[in-house]
Structure 1
Amino acid sequence: MFRRHFPGDRRRPALALHCMMGSGAGWGPIAEGLGGRVDLHALDLPGHGRSPRLAAIAPGEIMATTLTAARAEAERLAAGSADHRVDLLGHSFGAVAALALAVVDPARVRSLTLIEPVMFAALPAPARDPDGLLAALERFEAAGDRAGATAAFLRYWDGPDLNAVPPLTRDQLIAQMAAVRDTMPDIYHDRAGILAPGGLERLSAAVMFITGASSPPVIAEIAAALAARLPDVGRATVPGAGHMAPLTRPATVAELIAVNLDRA
């Protein structure tokens, strides 16, 4: 996975994981807003940004590859930090992956900032798809309509209009839908075991959930369900922002991340 670096205080490294259909470049404005408080490293998820394109995806490959690379990067960064820990940041699926990493290796995490984590599995099964997104994506999949699935996914998550982007970008987004589909068992059914009893409760790091005020209500419900199991947690809402708050309100998101950094 391709690594991006936004230089800052080398004594305090941070690792950031982006959303589906994004790239690590999206953390640049947030790093600027943090003003060098952390030495920020961001990975491009498999098949995203400057990471290699995926010709085929084995079941569970996206989460497994992301966790393997993120854990190796966290270990590398922690080895050079003042307290042998890292600050973790994640957005959307990247927030789910960051949470998974924290559960696997809690002693290495100084703080954990989760922006709009899409961990639907934290909710009771009947409440996981209140707006019918998963059902709609399954219908498009059954019909072989990859463009329709991509457009529906982007529309729900406050992304660009698929028909308004340049042809090359459109093709890339449609290709990335295969990675999105591969993560569905992770976020809707917890294939990685993130929510196993006792896992979240063992996290001693300062955790903050950041949600957009205009996001689908299910996102706040997910944050509440996860927060209820964490020992040291805060919650914040970005006024006027939707799911893509890190891109549309980077200064505000950076301010909130800084609050959590101060708590650690």
Structure 2
Amino acid sequence: MPDGIIDTARIHWRTLGHGPARALFLHPALAQSAIWRGIAEALDEEVTAIAPDMPGHGKSAPWEGGDIHDQVTAIAGQFLEDGMHVVGHSFGATVALRLAEAHPGRIATLTLIEPVIFAAAREAAPEAYAANIAAGRPAGEAFEAGDLEEAARLFTGRWGGGPDWSEIPAEQRARMASRMPQVMNSGPVLNDDTKGLLAPGALERVTMPTLLVRGAASDPVMAGICAGLRARLPDAREEIVADAGHMLTRTHAGEVAALLAPHLRAG
């Protein structure tokens, strides 16, 4: 499990699997590269994946401020190889999409798992988009008031898919609270598309086979996001994992791997 200096930040990454296909796995916010272990084990003989930890996560150096989406996109771009399969989950999926728009000729296939580019639902599912903005407001208010732990509790309650906040060890709660500035830093990108991921012609450049994966029990806005993306991506299909919520790479790794395997082979 090497680490190194990537784009001026000390970024840790791990190599998973031993297969001939090369892949780049990009994790969600408040998670780390280890979340991919279950999927990588299931695909061990088919894929060798590079999975970096974003700044302030896992074993990477702390985040020092700046535009987190720009930073993670630049870091991910340093790992990108010609012919790679790019797989992203949640925040990582929005970075994967940005890479695909910038480098369509270099990516064999794209997989977007629960992509939280909420702005994609604004036209496809306006009621779900508005409800999501409203539901996220209390966490934003707690953050603005300086209560990082309450912001983290509210955020993970919606998107974490794990145990109740009171059951999470105090050290882990503190770690998640410390990362809330990064989560909030990405809000304009995800809610308002300030990076132009949905600009005219942007999604249409993503010509590689694209798999959209969402959990059947995820927030309703996710169906709207996937519908908005699928309507414009040239070669996209959608798969829904039964009984799964937002964190399905952790909770339903086998099912996600079973969807990934034929998609990667086809590319």
Determine if the alignment matches structure 1 residue 243 to structure 2 residue 252: no
For residues 53 and 168 of structure 1, the distance between their equivalents in structure 2, rounded to whole angstroms, comes to 16
Deviations 1:166-224 (CA, angstroms, capped at 9, x unpaired)? 22111101001111011111111112221121111121211011100100111011011
Residue identity in the other structure for 2:23: A
Report the 3-state secondary structure (helix = DSSP H, G, I; strand = E; otherwise coil) of the residue aligned with 1:89.
strand
Q: Is the 8 A contact 1:44 1:50 kept in 2?
A: yes
Q: Is the 8 A contact 1:115 1:210 kept in 2?
A: yes
Residue identity in the other structure for 1:232: D
Deviations 1:79-138 (CA, angstroms, capped at 9, x unpaired)? xxxxx3100000000001100111011111100011000001112275424142331222
For residues 160 and 97 of structure 1, the distance between their equivalents in structure 2, rounded to whole angstroms, comes to 27
Determine if the alignment matches structure 1 residue 71 to structure 2 residue 77: yes
For residues 175 and 138 of structure 1, the distance between their equivalents in structure 2, rounded to whole angstroms, comes to 14
For residues 262 and 220 of structure 2, the distance between their equivalents in structure 1, rounded to whole angstroms, comes to 24
Q: Is the 8 A contact 2:36 2:249 kept in 1?
A: yes
Deviations 1:214-240 (CA, angstroms, capped at 9, x unpaired)? 001110110110011011111101111
For residues 168 and 114 of structure 2, the distance between their equivalents in structure 1, rounded to whole angstroms, comes to 24
Equivalent residue number for residue 50 of structure 1? 59
Report the 3-state secondary structure (helix = DSSP H, G, I; strand = E; otherwise coil) of the residue aligned with 2:173.
helix
How does the TM-score come out when normalised to structure 1?
0.91
Equivalent residue number for residue 140 of structure 1? 142
For residues 202 and 249 of structure 1, the distance between their equivalents in structure 2, rounded to whole angstroms, comes to 31
- Structure 1: which 4+ aligned runs deviate by more than 6 Å? none
Equivalent residue number for residue 8 of structure 2? none
Choose the corresponding residue for 1:199, options 199, 202, 222: 202
Report the 3-state secondary structure (helix = DSSP H, G, I; strand = E; otherwise coil) of the residue aligned with 2:88.
strand
Residue identity in the other structure for 2:72: T
For residues 74 and 47 of structure 2, the distance between their equivalents in structure 1, rounded to whole angstroms, comes to 23
Choose the corresponding residue for 1:224, options 222, 227, 245: 227
Unaligned runs of 5+ in 2: 1-10
* Aligned residues: CA RMSD: 1.4
For residues 69 and 26 of structure 1, the distance between their equivalents in structure 2, rounded to whole angstroms, comes to 18
Q: Is the 8 A contact 2:26 2:89 kept in 1?
A: yes
Residue identity in the other structure for 2:25: A
Q: Is the 8 A contact 1:163 1:170 kept in 2?
A: no
Report the 3-state secondary structure (helix = DSSP H, G, I; strand = E; otherwise coil) of the residue aligned with 1:130.
helix
Q: Is the 8 A contact 1:89 1:114 kept in 2?
A: yes
Unaligned runs of 5+ in 1: 79-83
The alpha-carbon deviation at position 243 of structure 1 amounts to 0.4
For residues 257 and 191 of structure 1, the distance between their equivalents in structure 2, rounded to whole angstroms, comes to 30
Equivalent residue number for residue 208 of structure 1? 211
Residue identity in the other structure for 2:28: C
Equivalent residue number for residue 111 of structure 1? 109
How does the TM-score come out when normalised to structure 2?
0.90
Residue identity in the other structure for 2:181: A
